[in-house]
Structure 1
């Protein structure tokens, strides 16, 4: 009778051990993947609830009567969210200090015109008066829109940005008066307005028409993407597909 070599027995033992551990490892990996997919789907459902609440809040704020600037300032000072809140403010535009923010409007390239509105207390509020085409960046090409005297603006409060929103956004070109992100401090400094004399947020002017038609007001964007439900269904669908594929594999292996 031939006795198997020790090496052969050891090899068979290793193969048997691998055969037993393989399904266990596979089951662990499948379970972890399933849990991750379900967690991603659940996170997207939570994001969906947050986004729907945000859209509803914005709609409610937009429909509210305009509040005086002092009320919006108090809310901002208290740390409340002032974004898209309606506001009414009066002052005199300092047209010679307008800043230009690169933008597009209805398929055209151009600029949003941010002009300091000088308030009765001596402070400045930067107002996004609206869009002008690329070729009419300079105020001399649209003199009718440089309205003199005191004006009253109905618009929406917009918060300042503390930093550049993304590394792919170009740096602001102060020398050419072209801004690619809304840096309130840089706007004020380049317009030779002391930081302490600037209201710490912006106001987007409403759609009231300016003399001569420019700037075109009412350019605030409200189209917030809300694809979280589709994303959630995708993740849940992948989790379900993983269960089906795993079940078919186990069934065929047992047969």
Structure 2
């Protein structure tokens, strides 16, 4: 009688079950992301609001305005073919989290902005965080927001228009990958058992 080894079979079964569960979770994430993208598409046409004091993904892509009392620092972030995004860290009052403003783009990696603040109008987007994908998935902190200015600061090229395609929606491909991993693990284990039985193990 051909015996199935208990411990290896249990380990493989648990791993396959975990992979299938992750695939199903990604399918749920896909439905959630599609609903979110529909909301973002509607946000583009909503009336202007004040830039939120605290992160809130529900207002992404909405038109907003804010007043920068004073830029206290500037960052240059990669922007693909556009070169670099120039982001100002603004003070908005004596207290509070302040505001990030994307002033425009430049191809000069040593660009030194002369912008001194003021009223800014644009749309709300996510600010760069430099977190890994795993870190973003498991981090409890919401991703910070920034105001993408409609009018660029002096010496900068205009920012791009709101682009929903910039919001990743790869959950279906991730789900397929997990299901494939589960199938491959089962095939490999079945072949290993077959080899073991043929050798009389």
* TM-score greater than 0.5 by the shorter chain: yes
Give the SS at the match of 1:248.
helix
Q: 1:253 to 1:83 in 2, by over 3 A?
A: farther
Q: Which runs of 5+ in 2 are unaligned?
A: 133-143
**2-structure distance, mates of 1:39, 1:131:** 44
Match of residue 124 from structure 2 = 156
Q: 1:98 to 1:158 in 2, by over 3 A?
A: same
User: Over alpha carbons, which structure has the higher Rg?
Assistant: 1
Match of residue 50 from structure 1 = 29
Give the SS at the match of 1:139.
coil
Structure 1 residue 128: deviation in Å?
1.9
The answer to whether the aligner puts 1:244 opposite 2:190 as a matched pair is yes
Match of residue 131 from structure 2 = 165
* Contact 1:157–1:202, Cα closer than 8 Å, also in 2: yes
Structure 1 residue 102: deviation in Å?
3.4
* Contact 1:127–1:202, Cα closer than 8 Å, also in 2: no
**1-structure distance, mates of 2:13, 2:117:** 65
The answer to whether the aligner puts 1:84 opposite 2:38 as a matched pair is no
Match of residue 183 from structure 1 = none
1:110 to 84, 87, 105: 84
* Contact 2:77–2:84, Cα closer than 8 Å, also in 1: yes
Report the TM-score, using the length of structure 2 for normalisation: 0.62
* Contact 1:132–1:214, Cα closer than 8 Å, also in 2: yes
2:20 to 41, 45, 52: 41
**1-structure distance, mates of 2:122, 2:197:** 68
Q: Which runs of 5+ in 1 are unaligned?
A: 1-19, 141-145, 167-200
Report the TM-score, using the length of structure 1 for normalisation: 0.52
Report the aligned-residue RMSD.
4.3
User: What number of residue pairs does the alignment pair up?
Assistant: 182
Match of residue 97 from structure 1 = 71
